[in-house]
Structure 1
Amino acid sequence: MIKLIAIDMDGTLLDHNKKIPEDNIIAIRKAAEAGIKVVICTGRMQSGVIPYFEQLDFAGHDEYAILNNGCSVHHTSDWSLHSYSELLREDVALLAKASADYPGVYLTFADQINYTVLENVVPDLVAYDAGLVFTEAKPVNLGTVFDNRPIFQAMYLAEKSVLDIFQAEQAELLSKTFSTVRSQSYIFEAMPKGVTKASALAKLSADLGYSPEEVMAIGDADNDLEMLAFAGVSVAMGNATETVKSIAKYETSSCDEAGVARAIETYALKK
Protein backbone atom coordinates (compact mmCIF):
# COMPACT_ATOMS: atom_id res chain seq x y z
CA MET A 1 0.00 0.00 0.00
CA ILE A 2 1.37 3.41 -0.99
CA LYS A 3 1.56 5.85 1.92
CA LEU A 4 3.72 8.60 0.38
CA ILE A 5 4.01 9.92 -3.17
CA ALA A 6 7.10 11.96 -4.12
CA ILE A 7 6.49 14.08 -7.21
CA ASP A 8 9.06 16.04 -9.19
CA MET A 9 7.88 19.36 -10.61
CA ASP A 10 9.41 20.46 -13.92
CA GLY A 11 8.66 17.96 -16.65
CA THR A 12 6.56 15.91 -14.23
CA LEU A 13 3.89 17.75 -12.23
CA LEU A 14 4.15 20.73 -14.61
CA ASP A 15 3.59 20.49 -18.33
CA HIS A 16 5.97 22.09 -20.82
CA ASN A 17 4.12 25.40 -20.41
CA LYS A 18 4.87 25.33 -16.66
CA LYS A 19 1.21 24.69 -15.83
CA ILE A 20 -0.35 21.97 -13.67
CA PRO A 21 -2.85 19.93 -15.71
CA GLU A 22 -6.24 19.87 -14.01
CA ASP A 23 -6.24 16.06 -13.94
CA ASN A 24 -3.05 16.15 -11.86
CA ILE A 25 -4.68 18.48 -9.33
CA ILE A 26 -7.72 16.23 -9.02
CA ALA A 27 -5.67 13.05 -8.61
CA ILE A 28 -3.35 14.61 -6.03
CA ARG A 29 -6.31 15.83 -3.97
CA LYS A 30 -7.84 12.35 -4.10
CA ALA A 31 -4.55 10.88 -2.85
CA ALA A 32 -4.40 13.34 0.04
CA GLU A 33 -8.02 12.64 0.94
CA ALA A 34 -7.15 8.93 0.98
CA GLY A 35 -4.51 9.63 3.63
CA ILE A 36 -1.49 9.46 1.35
CA LYS A 37 1.25 11.99 2.03
CA VAL A 38 2.00 14.01 -1.10
CA VAL A 39 5.54 15.36 -1.23
CA ILE A 40 6.69 17.80 -3.91
CA CYS A 41 10.32 16.87 -4.57
CA THR A 42 12.14 19.44 -6.69
CA GLY A 43 15.33 21.31 -7.37
CA ARG A 44 13.40 24.57 -7.08
CA MET A 45 13.73 26.92 -4.15
CA GLN A 46 10.76 27.87 -1.99
CA SER A 47 9.62 30.88 -4.04
CA GLY A 48 9.30 28.68 -7.11
CA VAL A 49 7.07 26.14 -5.39
CA ILE A 50 4.54 28.03 -3.24
CA PRO A 51 2.42 29.46 -6.11
CA TYR A 52 1.99 25.97 -7.58
CA PHE A 53 1.38 24.33 -4.22
CA GLU A 54 -1.42 26.79 -3.53
CA GLN A 55 -3.15 25.55 -6.68
CA LEU A 56 -3.26 22.04 -5.24
CA ASP A 57 -5.37 23.32 -2.30
CA PHE A 58 -4.89 20.55 0.23
CA ALA A 59 -7.57 22.04 2.50
CA GLY A 60 -5.81 21.71 5.82
CA HIS A 61 -3.62 18.70 5.10
CA ASP A 62 -0.09 19.27 6.43
CA GLU A 63 2.08 17.98 3.63
CA TYR A 64 5.82 18.20 3.01
CA ALA A 65 8.01 19.57 0.25
CA ILE A 66 11.58 18.55 -0.52
CA LEU A 67 13.25 21.54 -2.17
CA ASN A 68 16.70 22.52 -3.45
CA ASN A 69 17.32 18.97 -4.70
CA GLY A 70 17.08 17.55 -1.20
CA CYS A 71 18.86 20.26 0.76
CA SER A 72 15.73 21.42 2.57
CA VAL A 73 12.51 19.74 3.72
CA HIS A 74 9.57 21.98 4.60
CA HIS A 75 6.19 21.72 6.28
CA THR A 76 3.79 23.13 3.72
CA SER A 77 1.34 24.42 6.34
CA ASP A 78 3.69 27.33 7.11
CA TRP A 79 6.83 26.53 5.04
CA SER A 80 8.91 26.09 8.18
CA LEU A 81 11.95 23.84 7.95
CA HIS A 82 11.57 20.20 8.93
CA SER A 83 15.24 19.48 8.23
CA TYR A 84 18.04 20.80 6.04
CA SER A 85 21.67 20.50 4.92
CA GLU A 86 23.83 23.54 4.22
CA LEU A 87 26.98 24.66 2.44
CA LEU A 88 29.82 25.94 4.64
CA ARG A 89 32.14 28.87 4.04
CA GLU A 90 34.94 26.61 2.87
CA ASP A 91 32.51 24.98 0.44
CA VAL A 92 31.60 28.31 -1.10
CA ALA A 93 35.26 29.28 -1.40
CA LEU A 94 36.00 26.01 -3.23
CA LEU A 95 33.04 26.47 -5.55
CA ALA A 96 34.12 30.02 -6.37
CA LYS A 97 37.68 28.89 -7.09
CA ALA A 98 36.44 26.22 -9.50
CA SER A 99 34.66 28.74 -11.74
CA ALA A 100 37.07 31.66 -11.39
CA ASP A 101 38.77 31.01 -14.73
CA TYR A 102 35.57 30.43 -16.69
CA PRO A 103 34.03 33.65 -18.03
CA GLY A 104 30.33 33.24 -18.56
CA VAL A 105 29.91 30.67 -15.77
CA TYR A 106 27.92 32.26 -12.94
CA LEU A 107 27.90 30.82 -9.42
CA THR A 108 24.52 31.23 -7.73
CA PHE A 109 23.14 30.27 -4.33
CA ALA A 110 19.75 29.51 -2.79
CA ASP A 111 18.79 30.02 0.82
CA GLN A 112 15.25 29.81 2.16
CA ILE A 113 14.23 33.13 0.59
CA ASN A 114 17.04 34.58 -1.51
CA TYR A 115 18.54 33.77 -4.89
CA THR A 116 22.02 35.29 -5.08
CA VAL A 117 24.85 35.36 -7.60
CA LEU A 118 28.57 35.85 -7.03
CA GLU A 119 28.87 38.80 -9.41
CA ASN A 120 28.88 42.59 -9.25
CA VAL A 121 25.69 42.74 -11.33
CA VAL A 122 23.07 40.12 -12.13
CA PRO A 123 23.70 38.52 -15.56
CA ASP A 124 20.75 38.14 -17.92
CA LEU A 125 20.81 34.34 -17.73
CA VAL A 126 20.64 34.44 -13.93
CA ALA A 127 17.83 37.01 -14.03
CA TYR A 128 15.94 34.74 -16.42
CA ASP A 129 16.33 31.70 -14.16
CA ALA A 130 15.32 33.67 -11.07
CA GLY A 131 12.18 34.75 -12.89
CA LEU A 132 11.21 31.12 -13.40
CA VAL A 133 11.01 30.74 -9.61
CA PHE A 134 9.17 34.05 -9.15
CA THR A 135 12.00 36.00 -7.54
CA GLU A 136 14.82 38.41 -8.39
CA ALA A 137 18.48 37.51 -8.06
CA LYS A 138 20.75 39.68 -5.94
CA PRO A 139 24.50 40.17 -6.44
CA VAL A 140 26.78 39.16 -3.55
CA ASN A 141 30.48 38.72 -2.85
CA LEU A 142 32.30 36.19 -0.68
CA GLY A 143 31.94 38.55 2.26
CA THR A 144 28.16 38.96 2.01
CA VAL A 145 26.94 35.64 0.64
CA PHE A 146 26.40 34.32 4.17
CA ASP A 147 24.35 37.30 5.30
CA ASN A 148 21.35 35.01 4.83
CA ARG A 149 21.94 31.56 6.27
CA PRO A 150 21.67 28.67 5.78
CA ILE A 151 22.85 28.40 2.16
CA PHE A 152 21.26 25.23 0.85
CA GLN A 153 22.72 24.71 -2.61
CA ALA A 154 24.84 26.23 -5.33
CA MET A 155 24.23 26.30 -9.08
CA TYR A 156 26.58 27.15 -11.92
CA LEU A 157 24.66 28.82 -14.73
CA ALA A 158 26.04 29.26 -18.24
CA GLU A 159 25.13 28.84 -21.88
CA LYS A 160 25.17 25.15 -22.76
CA SER A 161 28.40 25.15 -24.77
CA VAL A 162 30.24 27.03 -22.02
CA LEU A 163 28.82 24.83 -19.26
CA ASP A 164 29.72 21.69 -21.20
CA ILE A 165 33.38 22.70 -21.05
CA PHE A 166 33.19 23.65 -17.39
CA GLN A 167 31.54 20.37 -16.46
CA ALA A 168 34.00 18.31 -18.46
CA GLU A 169 36.95 19.97 -16.74
CA GLN A 170 35.64 20.49 -13.18
CA ALA A 171 32.90 17.94 -12.44
CA GLU A 172 35.22 15.15 -11.31
CA LEU A 173 37.00 17.42 -8.84
CA LEU A 174 33.77 18.96 -7.54
CA SER A 175 32.12 15.57 -7.10
CA LYS A 176 34.75 14.65 -4.52
CA THR A 177 33.37 17.30 -2.17
CA PHE A 178 29.78 17.82 -3.33
CA SER A 179 26.78 15.98 -4.70
CA THR A 180 26.60 17.26 -8.27
CA VAL A 181 24.09 16.98 -11.09
CA ARG A 182 23.52 18.59 -14.48
CA SER A 183 19.84 19.34 -13.94
CA GLN A 184 19.28 21.40 -17.10
CA SER A 185 21.26 22.32 -20.17
CA TYR A 186 22.32 25.59 -18.56
CA ILE A 187 22.52 24.50 -14.89
CA PHE A 188 25.11 22.41 -13.07
CA GLU A 189 24.25 22.01 -9.40
CA ALA A 190 26.35 21.37 -6.29
CA MET A 191 24.83 20.27 -2.98
CA PRO A 192 26.46 19.23 0.29
CA LYS A 193 28.09 15.80 -0.11
CA GLY A 194 25.60 12.96 0.06
CA VAL A 195 22.56 15.21 -0.35
CA THR A 196 20.09 14.31 -3.08
CA LYS A 197 16.34 14.15 -3.42
CA ALA A 198 16.67 10.53 -2.34
CA SER A 199 18.59 11.27 0.87
CA ALA A 200 15.93 13.77 1.93
CA LEU A 201 13.12 11.43 0.91
CA ALA A 202 14.67 8.53 2.84
CA LYS A 203 14.98 10.63 5.99
CA LEU A 204 11.45 12.01 5.71
CA SER A 205 10.03 8.55 5.08
CA ALA A 206 11.82 7.23 8.17
CA ASP A 207 10.59 10.18 10.23
CA LEU A 208 7.03 9.34 9.19
CA GLY A 209 7.50 5.62 9.76
CA TYR A 210 7.22 4.56 6.11
CA SER A 211 9.36 1.92 4.43
CA PRO A 212 10.68 2.38 0.87
CA GLU A 213 8.11 -0.17 -0.29
CA GLU A 214 5.37 2.23 0.83
CA VAL A 215 6.82 5.10 -1.22
CA MET A 216 6.01 5.95 -4.82
CA ALA A 217 8.18 8.40 -6.79
CA ILE A 218 7.50 10.04 -10.14
CA GLY A 219 10.16 11.88 -12.16
CA ASP A 220 11.67 12.63 -15.53
CA ALA A 221 15.27 13.86 -15.22
CA ASP A 222 18.66 12.75 -13.98
CA ASN A 223 18.27 14.55 -10.64
CA ASP A 224 15.38 12.14 -10.01
CA LEU A 225 17.44 8.97 -10.46
CA GLU A 226 18.34 8.37 -6.81
CA MET A 227 14.79 9.17 -5.70
CA LEU A 228 13.35 6.66 -8.17
CA ALA A 229 15.88 4.03 -7.09
CA PHE A 230 14.86 4.51 -3.44
CA ALA A 231 11.11 4.20 -3.95
CA GLY A 232 9.39 0.83 -3.95
CA VAL A 233 7.20 2.05 -6.81
CA SER A 234 9.11 4.16 -9.34
CA VAL A 235 7.41 5.79 -12.31
CA ALA A 236 9.09 7.51 -15.25
CA MET A 237 7.23 10.15 -17.19
CA GLY A 238 6.65 9.52 -20.87
CA ASN A 239 8.93 12.49 -21.57
CA ALA A 240 11.66 11.23 -19.20
CA THR A 241 15.26 10.71 -20.23
CA GLU A 242 16.22 7.23 -21.36
CA THR A 243 18.35 6.86 -18.22
CA VAL A 244 15.32 7.52 -16.03
CA LYS A 245 13.16 5.13 -18.02
CA SER A 246 15.80 2.42 -17.72
CA ILE A 247 15.71 2.38 -13.91
CA ALA A 248 12.01 3.03 -13.27
CA LYS A 249 9.69 0.08 -12.76
CA TYR A 250 6.83 1.72 -14.62
CA GLU A 251 6.22 4.39 -17.24
CA THR A 252 3.28 6.78 -17.45
CA SER A 253 2.19 9.29 -20.08
CA SER A 254 3.98 12.59 -20.64
CA CYS A 255 3.77 15.74 -18.56
CA ASP A 256 1.59 17.28 -21.27
CA GLU A 257 -0.83 14.35 -20.92
CA ALA A 258 -1.26 14.50 -17.12
CA GLY A 259 1.10 11.60 -16.57
CA VAL A 260 1.16 12.23 -12.82
CA ALA A 261 -2.60 11.73 -12.61
CA ARG A 262 -2.41 8.51 -14.61
CA ALA A 263 0.36 7.19 -12.35
CA ILE A 264 -1.50 8.05 -9.13
CA GLU A 265 -4.70 6.47 -10.42
CA THR A 266 -2.93 3.32 -11.57
CA TYR A 267 -0.39 2.65 -8.84
CA ALA A 268 -1.51 4.53 -5.70
CA LEU A 269 -5.30 4.64 -5.77
CA LYS A 270 -5.93 1.27 -7.38
CA LYS A 271 -8.14 -1.04 -5.36
Structure 2
Amino acid sequence: MTGHPRLILLDIDGTLTDGETRGLDLELLASLADLNRRARRRPELPAVTLCSGRPPAYVEAILQAIDGHMPAVFENGCGLYVPAGYGFLPHPAIGDGSVIEEAAERVRATLVASDRVFLQPGKLFSLSIFARDPADKPHLLAWTRAALGPLCSRVELIYAASCLNVMPRGIDKGAGVALLASHTGIRPEEILGVGDADNDLAFLARVGRRGAPANANERVKALVDYVSPYATGQGVRDVLRHFGVLDATKTASA
Protein backbone atom coordinates (compact mmCIF):
# COMPACT_ATOMS: atom_id res chain seq x y z
CA MET A 1 0.00 0.00 0.00
CA THR A 2 1.37 3.40 -0.98
CA GLY A 3 0.33 6.73 0.51
CA HIS A 4 -1.71 6.99 3.67
CA PRO A 5 -4.29 4.39 4.74
CA ARG A 6 -7.96 5.14 4.21
CA LEU A 7 -8.95 3.63 7.55
CA ILE A 8 -7.30 2.88 10.90
CA LEU A 9 -8.59 -0.25 12.63
CA LEU A 10 -7.75 -0.70 16.33
CA ASP A 11 -8.20 -3.56 18.74
CA ILE A 12 -9.43 -2.38 22.15
CA ASP A 13 -8.16 -4.53 25.06
CA GLY A 14 -4.37 -4.65 25.19
CA THR A 15 -4.09 -2.11 22.38
CA LEU A 16 -6.27 0.96 22.76
CA THR A 17 -6.72 0.23 26.49
CA ASP A 18 -4.86 -1.66 29.20
CA GLY A 19 -7.73 -4.15 29.42
CA GLU A 20 -10.57 -5.03 31.75
CA THR A 21 -10.95 -2.98 34.96
CA ARG A 22 -8.23 -0.52 33.91
CA GLY A 23 -8.78 3.19 33.40
CA LEU A 24 -9.16 4.64 29.92
CA ASP A 25 -6.51 6.87 28.36
CA LEU A 26 -8.78 9.88 27.91
CA GLU A 27 -6.11 11.94 26.15
CA LEU A 28 -5.65 9.21 23.55
CA LEU A 29 -9.40 8.87 23.04
CA ALA A 30 -9.61 12.65 22.55
CA SER A 31 -6.80 12.53 19.98
CA LEU A 32 -8.57 9.78 18.04
CA ALA A 33 -11.84 11.73 18.21
CA ASP A 34 -9.99 14.68 16.69
CA LEU A 35 -8.76 12.44 13.86
CA ASN A 36 -12.33 11.34 13.19
CA ARG A 37 -13.66 14.88 13.16
CA ARG A 38 -10.95 15.86 10.69
CA ALA A 39 -11.73 12.81 8.54
CA ARG A 40 -15.38 13.86 8.35
CA ARG A 41 -14.31 17.29 7.12
CA ARG A 42 -11.60 15.89 4.84
CA PRO A 43 -12.61 12.45 3.48
CA GLU A 44 -9.12 11.92 2.05
CA LEU A 45 -7.82 11.63 5.63
CA PRO A 46 -8.14 8.29 7.46
CA ALA A 47 -10.87 7.75 10.02
CA VAL A 48 -10.40 5.55 13.09
CA THR A 49 -12.63 2.63 14.02
CA LEU A 50 -12.51 -0.57 16.07
CA CYS A 51 -12.03 -4.32 15.61
CA SER A 52 -12.73 -5.87 18.99
CA GLY A 53 -13.84 -9.03 20.73
CA ARG A 54 -16.04 -6.95 23.00
CA PRO A 55 -19.86 -7.07 22.92
CA PRO A 56 -21.75 -4.65 20.65
CA ALA A 57 -22.77 -2.25 23.44
CA TYR A 58 -19.18 -1.81 24.63
CA VAL A 59 -17.89 -1.28 21.08
CA GLU A 60 -20.63 1.31 20.57
CA ALA A 61 -19.56 3.16 23.74
CA ILE A 62 -15.87 3.26 22.81
CA LEU A 63 -16.73 4.34 19.27
CA GLN A 64 -18.74 7.20 20.77
CA ALA A 65 -15.73 8.13 22.91
CA ILE A 66 -13.59 8.52 19.77
CA ASP A 67 -16.43 10.23 17.86
CA GLY A 68 -16.33 7.43 15.30
CA HIS A 69 -18.57 7.43 12.26
CA MET A 70 -17.27 4.35 10.42
CA PRO A 71 -18.63 0.85 11.16
CA ALA A 72 -16.82 -1.14 13.86
CA VAL A 73 -16.29 -4.89 14.21
CA PHE A 74 -17.67 -6.48 17.39
CA GLU A 75 -17.31 -9.94 18.98
CA ASN A 76 -14.23 -10.90 16.98
CA GLY A 77 -15.94 -10.62 13.61
CA CYS A 78 -19.46 -11.72 14.54
CA GLY A 79 -20.88 -8.47 13.23
CA LEU A 80 -20.67 -4.74 12.61
CA TYR A 81 -21.94 -1.83 14.64
CA VAL A 82 -22.95 0.83 12.10
CA PRO A 83 -23.36 4.30 13.66
CA ALA A 84 -25.29 5.66 10.67
CA GLY A 85 -28.83 4.52 11.38
CA TYR A 86 -27.77 2.83 14.64
CA GLY A 87 -27.46 -0.62 13.08
CA PHE A 88 -26.10 -3.90 14.45
CA LEU A 89 -25.41 -6.27 11.57
CA PRO A 90 -24.56 -9.92 12.33
CA HIS A 91 -22.17 -11.66 9.98
CA PRO A 92 -24.15 -13.65 7.38
CA ALA A 93 -22.26 -16.82 8.32
CA ILE A 94 -23.54 -16.73 11.92
CA GLY A 95 -26.70 -18.66 11.08
CA ASP A 96 -29.29 -19.22 13.79
CA GLY A 97 -26.79 -19.12 16.66
CA SER A 98 -27.76 -22.54 17.97
CA VAL A 99 -24.16 -23.80 18.08
CA ILE A 100 -23.06 -21.05 20.46
CA GLU A 101 -26.21 -21.51 22.56
CA GLU A 102 -25.36 -25.19 22.97
CA ALA A 103 -21.73 -24.34 23.73
CA ALA A 104 -22.85 -21.90 26.42
CA GLU A 105 -25.06 -24.53 28.02
CA ARG A 106 -22.18 -27.02 28.15
CA VAL A 107 -19.72 -24.50 29.56
CA ARG A 108 -22.19 -23.34 32.21
CA ALA A 109 -23.02 -26.91 33.23
CA THR A 110 -19.37 -27.83 33.74
CA LEU A 111 -16.82 -25.05 34.01
CA VAL A 112 -19.07 -22.31 35.40
CA ALA A 113 -20.82 -24.73 37.76
CA SER A 114 -17.44 -25.78 39.18
CA ASP A 115 -16.55 -22.08 39.65
CA ARG A 116 -13.42 -22.39 37.53
CA VAL A 117 -14.54 -19.82 34.95
CA PHE A 118 -17.07 -17.10 34.23
CA LEU A 119 -18.52 -15.82 30.97
CA GLN A 120 -18.24 -12.20 29.90
CA PRO A 121 -21.77 -10.72 29.90
CA GLY A 122 -23.37 -9.16 26.87
CA LYS A 123 -22.14 -11.48 24.13
CA LEU A 124 -24.78 -12.22 21.48
CA PHE A 125 -23.03 -14.52 19.01
CA SER A 126 -19.94 -15.88 20.78
CA LEU A 127 -18.51 -16.69 24.22
CA SER A 128 -15.58 -15.20 26.10
CA ILE A 129 -14.42 -17.49 28.90
CA PHE A 130 -12.36 -16.05 31.77
CA ALA A 131 -10.56 -18.10 34.40
CA ARG A 132 -11.57 -17.25 37.98
CA ASP A 133 -7.89 -17.49 38.84
CA PRO A 134 -5.89 -15.66 36.13
CA ALA A 135 -3.09 -18.19 36.64
CA ASP A 136 -5.43 -20.81 35.14
CA LYS A 137 -5.72 -19.02 31.79
CA PRO A 138 -3.36 -21.52 30.07
CA HIS A 139 -5.78 -24.31 31.07
CA LEU A 140 -8.82 -22.71 29.44
CA LEU A 141 -8.27 -24.37 26.07
CA ALA A 142 -8.09 -27.91 27.47
CA TRP A 143 -10.96 -27.30 29.88
CA THR A 144 -13.18 -25.91 27.14
CA ARG A 145 -12.39 -28.71 24.72
CA ALA A 146 -13.36 -31.23 27.39
CA ALA A 147 -16.58 -29.35 28.17
CA LEU A 148 -17.63 -29.03 24.52
CA GLY A 149 -16.72 -32.55 23.41
CA PRO A 150 -17.85 -33.23 19.82
CA LEU A 151 -19.15 -29.67 19.53
CA CYS A 152 -15.51 -28.56 19.12
CA SER A 153 -15.70 -29.47 15.44
CA ARG A 154 -18.34 -26.77 14.93
CA VAL A 155 -16.62 -23.86 16.69
CA GLU A 156 -13.32 -21.99 16.76
CA LEU A 157 -11.38 -21.62 20.03
CA ILE A 158 -9.14 -18.55 19.96
CA TYR A 159 -7.18 -16.96 22.79
CA ALA A 160 -7.37 -13.22 23.41
CA ALA A 161 -5.13 -11.33 25.82
CA SER A 162 -7.13 -12.31 28.92
CA CYS A 163 -9.66 -14.96 27.90
CA LEU A 164 -10.57 -17.77 25.50
CA ASN A 165 -13.14 -17.04 22.81
CA VAL A 166 -15.60 -19.60 21.46
CA MET A 167 -16.59 -18.55 17.95
CA PRO A 168 -18.87 -19.95 15.25
CA ARG A 169 -16.65 -21.84 12.81
CA GLY A 170 -15.45 -19.60 9.98
CA ILE A 171 -15.87 -16.40 12.00
CA ASP A 172 -12.87 -14.40 13.20
CA LYS A 173 -11.63 -10.82 13.00
CA GLY A 174 -10.46 -11.47 9.45
CA ALA A 175 -14.04 -12.28 8.47
CA GLY A 176 -15.05 -9.11 10.27
CA VAL A 177 -12.63 -7.05 8.17
CA ALA A 178 -14.04 -8.62 5.01
CA LEU A 179 -17.55 -7.65 6.13
CA LEU A 180 -16.36 -4.14 6.96
CA ALA A 181 -14.73 -3.82 3.54
CA SER A 182 -17.90 -4.99 1.81
CA HIS A 183 -20.01 -2.50 3.76
CA THR A 184 -17.73 0.52 3.33
CA GLY A 185 -16.06 -0.09 -0.03
CA ILE A 186 -12.64 0.33 1.61
CA ARG A 187 -10.34 -2.50 0.54
CA PRO A 188 -8.50 -4.39 3.32
CA GLU A 189 -5.17 -3.40 1.78
CA GLU A 190 -6.12 0.27 2.36
CA ILE A 191 -6.42 -0.31 6.13
CA LEU A 192 -3.83 0.17 8.88
CA GLY A 193 -4.46 -2.36 11.67
CA VAL A 194 -3.11 -2.42 15.24
CA GLY A 195 -3.51 -5.40 17.58
CA ASP A 196 -1.76 -7.42 20.27
CA ALA A 197 -3.16 -10.96 20.72
CA ASP A 198 -3.89 -14.21 18.88
CA ASN A 199 -7.44 -13.16 18.04
CA ASP A 200 -5.97 -10.19 16.14
CA LEU A 201 -3.83 -12.31 13.82
CA ALA A 202 -6.66 -13.00 11.36
CA PHE A 203 -7.44 -9.34 10.80
CA LEU A 204 -3.83 -8.18 10.80
CA ALA A 205 -3.05 -10.73 8.10
CA ARG A 206 -5.65 -9.12 5.82
CA VAL A 207 -4.84 -5.43 6.11
CA GLY A 208 -2.28 -3.47 4.12
CA ARG A 209 -0.24 -2.12 7.05
CA ARG A 210 0.17 -3.57 10.51
CA GLY A 211 1.47 -2.33 13.83
CA ALA A 212 1.60 -3.62 17.39
CA PRO A 213 2.32 -2.24 20.85
CA ALA A 214 5.25 -3.58 22.87
CA ASN A 215 2.96 -5.83 24.93
CA ALA A 216 1.84 -7.82 21.86
CA ASN A 217 2.61 -11.52 21.86
CA GLU A 218 5.41 -12.94 19.75
CA ARG A 219 3.11 -14.26 17.01
CA VAL A 220 1.67 -10.79 16.47
CA LYS A 221 5.12 -9.18 16.55
CA ALA A 222 6.32 -11.61 13.89
CA LEU A 223 3.44 -10.65 11.59
CA VAL A 224 3.35 -6.87 11.78
CA ASP A 225 5.42 -4.30 9.92
CA TYR A 226 6.27 -2.24 13.01
CA VAL A 227 6.45 -3.04 16.73
CA SER A 228 6.37 -0.02 19.01
CA PRO A 229 8.75 0.11 21.98
CA TYR A 230 5.75 1.35 24.00
CA ALA A 231 2.83 -0.62 25.40
CA THR A 232 -0.93 -0.24 24.78
CA GLY A 233 -2.09 3.38 24.35
CA GLN A 234 1.38 4.88 24.11
CA GLY A 235 2.13 2.19 21.56
CA VAL A 236 -0.92 3.17 19.51
CA ARG A 237 0.28 6.78 19.44
CA ASP A 238 3.72 5.63 18.35
CA VAL A 239 2.37 3.31 15.63
CA LEU A 240 0.25 6.11 14.18
CA ARG A 241 3.25 8.43 14.18
CA HIS A 242 5.42 5.74 12.59
CA PHE A 243 3.00 5.38 9.68
CA GLY A 244 2.68 9.15 9.33
CA VAL A 245 -0.98 9.27 10.26
CA LEU A 246 -0.86 11.80 13.09
CA ASP A 247 1.67 14.09 11.45
CA ALA A 248 0.03 13.82 8.02
CA THR A 249 -3.38 14.62 9.47
CA LYS A 250 -2.13 17.59 11.45
CA THR A 251 -0.30 18.98 8.43
CA ALA A 252 -3.25 18.47 6.10
CA SER A 253 -5.70 20.17 8.44
CA ALA A 254 -3.47 23.05 9.46
Taking structure 2 as the reference length, what is the TM-score of the superposition?
0.76
Deviation at 1:256, TM superposition (A): 5.3
Q: Contact 2:141–2:157 (CA<8 Å) still a contact in 1? A: no
Equivalent position of 1:135 in the other structure? none
Q: Contact 1:31–1:264 (CA<8 Å) still a contact in 2? A: no
**Secondary structure of the residue that 2:54 maps to in structure 1?**
coil
RMSD of equivalent CA atoms: 2.9
Letter aligned with residue 6 of structure 1: L
Q: Contact 1:180–1:191 (CA<8 Å) still a contact in 2? A: yes
Deviation at 1:100, TM superposition (A): 3.6
Residue in structure 2 matching 1:39, options 21, 46, 49: 49
Equivalent position of 1:53 in the other structure? 63
Deviation at 1:29, TM superposition (A): 2.5
Say whether residues 1:14 and 2:22 are aligned partners.
no
Letter aligned with residue 97 of structure 2: L
Q: Contact 2:28–2:237 (CA<8 Å) still a contact in 1? A: yes
Taking structure 1 as the reference length, what is the TM-score of the superposition?
0.71
Q: Contact 2:14–2:161 (CA<8 Å) still a contact in 1? A: no
**Secondary structure of the residue that 1:194 maps to in structure 2?**
coil
Equivalent position of 2:98 in the other structure? 89
Distance 1:64 1:268, change over 3 A: farther
Question: Structure 1 segments of 4 or more deviating over 6 A?
Answer: none
Letter aligned with residue 56 of structure 2: Q
**Secondary structure of the residue that 2:205 maps to in structure 1?**
helix
Equivalent position of 1:124 in the other structure? none
Letter aligned with residue 167 of structure 1: L
Distance 1:77 1:20, change over 3 A: farther
Structure with a larger share of its residues in strand:
1
Distance 1:266 1:157, change over 3 A: closer
Instruction: Provide, for residues 74-111 of structure 1, a one-character-per-residue CA deviation record: whole Å limited to 9, x for no partner.
Output: 1124541234335632442245336644422456476x
Say whether residues 1:5 and 2:18 are aligned partners.
no
Equivalent position of 2:251 in the other structure? none
Q: Which has the higher contact order (CA 8 A, sep 6+)?
A: 1
Equivalent position of 1:153 in the other structure? 126
Residue in structure 1 matching 2:115, options 83, 100, 104: 104
Distance 1:105 1:86, change over 3 A: farther
Deviation at 1:32, TM superposition (A): 5.2
Letter aligned with residue 168 of structure 2: P
Paired-residue identity, %: 24
Equivalent position of 2:198 in the other structure? 222
Report 1:158-197 matches (<5 A): 158-159=131-132, 160=134, 162=136, 164-171=138-145, 175-185=152-162, 187-197=163-173
Q: How many residue pairs align between the two structures?
A: 229
Instruction: Provide, for residues 223-250 of structure 1, a one-character-per-residue CA deviation record: whole Å limited to 9, x for no partner.
Output: 1111111111010112211221111111
Distance in structure 2 (CA, Å) of the matches to 1:28 and 1:259: 17
Q: Contact 1:6–1:39 (CA<8 Å) still a contact in 2? A: yes
Letter aligned with residue 155 of structure 1: S
Deviation at 1:43, TM superposition (A): 1.1
Instruction: Provide, for residues 211-233 of structure 1, a one-character-per-residue CA deviation record: whole Å limited to 9, x for no partner.
Output: 22201100111211111111110
Distance 1:38 1:253, change over 3 A: same
Instruction: Provide, for residues 172-220 of structure 1, a one-character-per-residue CA deviation record: whole Å limited to 9, x for no partner.
Output: 95552112212244x3211111111111112211332222220110011
**Secondary structure of the residue that 1:258 maps to in structure 2?**
helix
Deviation at 1:11, TM superposition (A): 1.7
Any gaps of 5 or more consecutive residues in structure 2? 249-254
